[in-house]
Amino acid sequence: VPNDNAVMPHKPALRVNQLDAARLDAELERELQAQFTGVVGEAITLTEEHQAVIRAVVAAILSYKLISTGQTYGQTLLLLTFNHAKRSKILLYVLCAVLLPLVWVLVRNRVESTGQSAGFNRPHQQQPRSAVYLARFEKLLKILTLGNTAAFLLWGRYGTLLERLLRLPTADMREGPRYVTFDYLSRELLWHGFSEFIAFVLPVFSGARFRRMVQRVLSGTTSTALPASVCGVCGLTPASPHAALCGHVFCYYCVASNCMADRKYPCPRCDRAIDRSALKRVM
């Protein structure tokens, strides 16, 4: 007889759902941080340390839901959760996520200010050991983050380096097999049909001709209103003038470049097709 109180194991979450949840959390944090920054910025001039403190405060506010329910806001929307994580591990995760970025900014600014006060701000002078160790640690952290991202894309577990260190895998709370909804299939079919249509139409569609038509409609003027002594394309005195079979004169660069872009380029004055090989220089 199965025990109703037994905790059923959750299914591993899809990579795309984990990325979407992290993106939602980041967007929410960014919006709240912008609101706090706008309010505090009216009273004082914000520095990098002030920005780090505001970010820590916002992260602490958003972390209350994670502490109370074991889910972030993004995970709640996508029905995800940390797979049977202990409360102590959740608290440690929150402390690291809130305090580590703040501590990093404070330590880095302290090291930089110490180096500048000691006279190490010139490029040819040797940097203090603390600055060198800090730069090496930052490079190592970037390498580890890149490796964790590659491992996440390969195996689908531990979206961040902190989650991997604390062993906090994300799981899917949905019961039963995953079904692809009809709305999703409809969107996919519609998108594939539209992309195939665009791929079929674009090769036979002349972008230069469409651009000329739009320019004529927006400008409300045509080249026939220009004097015969000027180029019908640029409206200036023809440079290296060449005449088409229709007898109208243009700058060689103007007419040649348009003929290269559109083999059926029409004369702007009479709409007769211009043959580039038939252009004759006008003395």
In Å, how far from its chain's centre is CA 14?
21
pLDDT of residue 72 exceeding 70, the answer is yes
Look at residue 272 in the predicted model and tell me its pLDDT.
Answer: 82
Look at residue 7 in the predicted model and tell me its pLDDT.
Answer: 45
pLDDT of residue 247 exceeding 90, the answer is no
Question: In which element (H, E) is residue 241 found?
Answer: strand 241-243
| DSSP label of 250 | E
- Please name the residue ranges forming H helices in 82-206: 87-117, 129-155, 161-166, 182-201
Q: Answer yes or no: are the C-beta atoms of 84 and 173 closer than 8 Å.
A: no
Look at residue 10 in the predicted model and tell me its pLDDT.
Answer: 67
Question: Tens of pLDDT along 53-68?
Answer: 999 999 999 999 999 9
Average pLDDT over residues 225-231: 74
Strands 280-281 and 249-251: unpaired
3-state helix, strand, coil in the chain (%, to 5): 60, 5, 35
Question: Tens of pLDDT along 1-55?
Answer: 334 444 445 688 888 889 999 999 999 999 999 999 888 888 888 888 889 999 9
